[in-house]
Amino acid sequence: MDRNVQVLVRLRPISAAESTAYGQKRCLIQDSSKTLSWTGHPETKFTFDHVACETISQEKLFRVVGLPMVENCMSGYNGCLFAYGQTGSGKTYTMMGELSKDGNELSNDSGLTPRIFEYLFARIKEEEERRREDKLKYICKCSFLEIYNEQITDLLEPSSTNLQIREDIKKGVYVENLMECYVSSVKDVMLLLLQGVANRKMAATNMNSESSRSHSVFTCVIESHWERDSMTHLRFGRLNLVDLAGSERKARALKETA
Ligand SMILES: Nc1ncnc2c1ncn2[C@@H]1O[C@H](COP(=O)(O)OP(=O)(O)OP(=O)(O)O)[C@@H](O)[C@H]1O
Ligand SMILES: [Mg+2]
């Protein structure tokens, strides 16, 4: 993890509908943990930082992608994770997956975001106990927005539409009037996710009956403070989790509504 930007490709299993329509034949073959071959003419090989196979579990993917980002953010670095791909390729499944209604238990299908926060709060507890003498404390606050037709809406307060992007010498780039909620457990985060996901713009495409038509950005600012040598130390890390709208052209993908 010594490079700033990494690209991981996740292959998803063939769906039942695809199998019925086209059979099990694949046009991509995974050659190694970093390379894929497209079996067309001419056959073409592509290399990435990682290629995750069709059968990789949500848990395993979290260990490869999510866990190192949490560790970096706790150390005061910013991290950003984008899911990019065409409609139905598995972006929302990867980023969110199944969200439990009561927010307590994660399931096999829970995606990166709930897993990241489960791990984050476990690590915070561990660190605060380990550095009790320093009076180390973490504070986390989250926001959730969507970008649709180049307009920003607050997914936690959907009446806040057309929010503006501003720049400030101290804060950097930020979205004005965006709601920020303090969170201290996976349950708190899960409730925000459920609320936000329900407010997101959706429509059916030819390849996904529950297609997210907007970009969504879930942000968590992780602040830590501790005391040493009679001084208070402060550290900030920001984690952006982005589920992009399908990368296909809208006119070709949206279902005909006669
Ligand atoms: N790795 C996977 N394993 C099992 N099912 C998956 C996997 N990836 C995606 N799916 C399923 O495929 C369908 C489409 O996935 P998803 O909604 O995540 O696509 P998307 O990339 O977010 O599409 P869109 O751009 O239209 O929002 C969903 O029913 C999802 O549960
Ligand atoms: Mg989606």
pLDDT digits 0-9 by tens, 20-78: 998 988 889 999 999 999 999 999 999 999 999 999 999 999 999 999 999 999 988 99
Task: Kindly report which listed range (71-85, 98-112, 162-176) carries the lowest average pLDDT score.
Answer: 98-112
Q: What is the mean pLDDT of the chain?
A: 91
How many A from CA of 101 to the centre of ligand 1? 19
Q: Whose CA is nearest to atom 9 of ligand 1?
A: 90
Annotated binding residue at 201? no
Q: What is the pLDDT of residue 256?
A: 45
Residue 83 Cα: closest atom of ligand 1: 21
Annotated binding residue at 184? no
CB-count burial class (<10 Å; 0-12, 13-18, 19+) for 246: buried
Q: What is the pLDDT of residue 213?
A: 83
- What's the rounded Cα separation, in Å, for the pair 62 and 84? 17
Q: What is the pLDDT of residue 257?
A: 42
The candidate with the shortest Cα–Cα distance to 103, out of 93, 90, 113, is 113
Q: What is the pLDDT of residue 165?
A: 97
Q: Which helix (H) or strand (E) holds 68?
A: helix 67-74
- What's the rounded Cα separation, in Å, for the pair 254 and 258? 12
Q: Is the CB of 58 under 6 A from ligand 1?
A: no
The candidate with the shortest Cα–Cα distance to 62, out of 35, 81, 89, is 81
Give residues with Cβ within 8 angstroms of 240, minimum separation 6: 78, 79, 80, 81, 217, 218, 219
Q: What is the pLDDT of residue 102?
A: 74
In this prediction, residue 1 has a pLDDT band, given cuts at 50, 70 and 90, of low
CA distances from 68 to 61, 81, 192 (A): 11, 12, 23
Q: What is the best residue among 10, 14, 108, 208 to mutate for testing ligand 1's pocket, by most ligand atoms within 8 Å of CB?
A: 208
CB-count burial class (<10 Å; 0-12, 13-18, 19+) for 220: buried
In this prediction, residue 254 has a pLDDT band, given cuts at 50, 70 and 90, of low
Query: 57-253 belongs to which CATH class?
Result: alpha beta
Annotated binding residue at 85? yes
- What's the rounded Cα separation, in Å, for the pair 148 and 161? 10
The candidate with the shortest Cα–Cα distance to 183, out of 135, 146, 223, is 223
Domain ranges of the chain: 1-55, 57-253
Annotated binding residue at 103? no
